Structure 1
């Protein structure tokens, strides 16, 4: 009798413990995509790009084997190869524009080309667009040197390889929203290709919900400090918005939202989603738009009002970045393939795929999200409307302390309102839609409601 009672008590305790566990749910399709990223594929892309000699934006565009022209045509060719498995969903092309000499980093009329592949969304009413980029051009010490070998294996062959691999894998699946894969040119000449694309997106009214810029995601070690680590990845995001800050500064200051711009919400999303699907990797949030006094291809997008972040390796090695190929005092300089970590590149590519797939499969964000301020209260009442696109089976109300960099609690509801016993004086909130498959939209910070 006592033994039976003991077994029942243990069984009951085990059941309660299991119910109390936090379960991380992974979408089966996204898991397959992540597992489909191959080091060998990434290495083959890098080897081919290095073989073009230099990929300087100012280099030869007529040769079929050398220079930026041959390189960008090869990328479009890879995209077209993947298009054959997409049932007509993937379309690839070279998007060109001519830049005139500017007296700075363009000294002759230059036909710039971005290699683009568009994976059309399955829902014709869903106008959301997600962009993932790397820059195809490379350089040596002198940014105007267009003839010397500039392998650009990591900067930014790694980012472009990640984009190509993402296109290869994701073109085999359907997504509600549209995904654009792009290898831009002109980054080293002052973000010309990304600026061209961001300006076009603004003029043509693209609904760019998020943009992921990948620049140097394949090296695991640093110069000077000699740190070797392939378990951490940085995500840079702007704090105060570059776009129309003057119109929004008063509200940002009044409500304490200096750390809650759209790009920073995207960075948190990259961290949560990336770590959910990619093992042995920690995503580090860096609270600035880019590295100190430096820039990347996401910048023209945030300057045009789009949500964008930079994804980059944790430790930079300046002996292998922007360097002429040479050996000095036993140190070999240059951005060569031999200095890369392809397991690290595999993991970082997988982060991009997981984030893009989760966003493109999810319904759009809830609309008209408000927090009630009618009465003084130690509870908080939030309400919103259903997303414009897709079906939401429910919503997460996210909460964190004002000093926390990441969301700390989630409250799930199937309604379009929720009252929780936490004061808006002490916490920050956001709401995101959850689709039938558990995929989440980007979070929306509430406005003022009465």
Structure 2
């Protein structure tokens, strides 16, 4: 099926020639508005609002304090001591997750696995060590191979990356991310199962070299999973910077531009058509802003057009390398006295160093949890991101023609063309086109950035797909 859209509502600046026809319009300092309507952010449905209302700051505080109580969670710390070290933390997280699965709603298939492997000696690993992830999975009801993932890392460190004996509380880095993962697992297991599969993971070995997440990404590839979105929450525990500035209602989302998985020729094509700002990661970020910046989360998602901060990295990177759309949540301003620091008080200034729970803001973490919950639920209950999206560039024309594959699961009730000015950050306009696999719009591809998104029978929208030339 295909469709030709002939909608045009030009709004032009006044023309300055009196001899032109009324039907003509010479634009001086403004572009025509073009077809469609202004894009309105997706509002959280009542089911989602009920889920988000259950995220509990007190439970988050309890989880973080329990993680801190293990003394150190360094990757090569004890795996057999019942009360201290990463092994004790692993066993406690897994036990809690299994409890959540046991309380799952009837008809919700929730399972817990602890996939592990032996990591050999490396520059940050002095002897072979077991790397274990704890993965909480809720199976999708209609499209179970389509997967969305959220992680936090449960290992911790102090100043010396090789010091696995001293206390490394890891309250913010990354007890905060693990707490969000655990809260979402607890709550979502009790709700109606999603259309697609969700996986909530506490991963290990992040501080040493992203070992746990690399293992996780490899497993999803080997299993043939269609991972359409992955987020890591790493250092999401406080809105207060080391200079005292406080930003309690925003969260940064780092989104990569040119995908690290693309070949030289793919990169050249992307650059040639101006697609540097329309990678899958950035479309995922735009979607996140659309569904999670609202009064229900009480947060604003601040998209940062970088894969990560300077001199830093995170657990989304192995998923990016595998070709998946992935992004990183991090608090708006960091306090570096409370990251990767020995627990101590400076004798001169009296300043407390160390990643202690007293420096976490549990209400803020709960709001970040709501952002995560909003995007995860919205992704898993909407149709999948459209595939095989192309643009016809076979002839010179001021129209734009797009083609894509129809959703094979039957979840999509229709599709929409979203568009924006090429220098705009977010999608600005939307054109509903119905249940078709081809459409022509009277808007020039030379002047505009486009995307195609699916609309579910429940009204939920997917992230958009940026079209590449088919010719």
Fold match (TM-score > 0.5): yes
Root-mean-square deviation (Å) = 1.8
Q: Deviations over 1:291-346 (max 9, x none)?
A: 11211001111111111111111100001111111111211111111111111101
1:176 to 195, 198, 201: 195
Q: Contact between 1:31 and 1:277, CA under 8 Å: does it hold in 2?
A: no
2:453 aligns with 432
Shift of residue 139, structure 1, vs aligned partner? 0.8
1:444 aligns with 465
Q: Contact between 2:44 and 2:374, CA under 8 Å: does it hold in 1?
A: no
CA distance in 2, matches of 1:22, 1:286: 22
CA distance in 1, matches of 2:183, 2:297: 19
CA distance in 2, matches of 1:195, 1:64: 27
Per the normalisation by structure 1, the TM-score is 0.91
Correspondences of 1:389-428 after superposition (within 5 Å): 389-416=409-436, 417-428=438-449
Q: Contact between 1:323 and 1:335, CA under 8 Å: does it hold in 2?
A: yes
The answer for unaligned runs of 5 or more in structure 1 is 1-18
Q: Does 1:155 align with 2:176?
A: no
CA distance in 2, matches of 1:171, 1:79: 10
Q: Contact between 2:72 and 2:168, CA under 8 Å: does it hold in 1?
A: yes
2:220 aligns with 201
1:186 to 205, 214, 221: 205
Q: Does 1:314 align with 2:339?
A: no
Shift of residue 21, structure 1, vs aligned partner? 11
Q: Contact between 2:297 and 2:371, CA under 8 Å: does it hold in 1?
A: no
Q: Contact between 1:26 and 1:277, CA under 8 Å: does it hold in 2?
A: no
CA distance in 2, matches of 1:130, 1:277: 24
Q: Contact between 2:237 and 2:361, CA under 8 Å: does it hold in 1?
A: yes
CA distance in 2, matches of 1:149, 1:41: 23
CA distance in 1, matches of 2:389, 2:257: 21
1:82 aligns with 100
Q: Deviations over 1:73-128 (max 9, x none)?
A: 111111111112223611112111111111x11001111111111111112x5410
Q: Does 1:282 align with 2:300?
A: yes
CA distance in 2, matches of 1:46, 1:264: 31
Q: Contact between 1:177 and 1:360, CA under 8 Å: does it hold in 2?
A: yes
Question: Number of paired residues?
Answer: 429
1:216 to 212, 218, 235: 235
CA distance in 1, matches of 2:39, 2:372: 28
* More deviation, 340-349/362-371: 362-371
C-alpha spacing 1:335/1:279, structure 2 compared with 1 (3 Å): same
CA distance in 2, matches of 1:20, 1:334: 48
2:309 aligns with 291
Shift of residue 24, structure 1, vs aligned partner? 5.0
C-alpha spacing 1:206/1:22, structure 2 compared with 1 (3 Å): closer
1:15 aligns with none
Q: Does 1:302 align with 2:324?
A: no
Judging by fraction of residues, say which structure has more helix: 1
Shift of residue 376, structure 1, vs aligned partner? 2.7
Q: Contact between 2:206 and 2:314, CA under 8 Å: does it hold in 1?
A: yes
Highest relative contact order (Cα 8 Å, sep 6+), 1 or 2? 2
Per the normalisation by structure 2, the TM-score is 0.87
2:75 aligns with 57
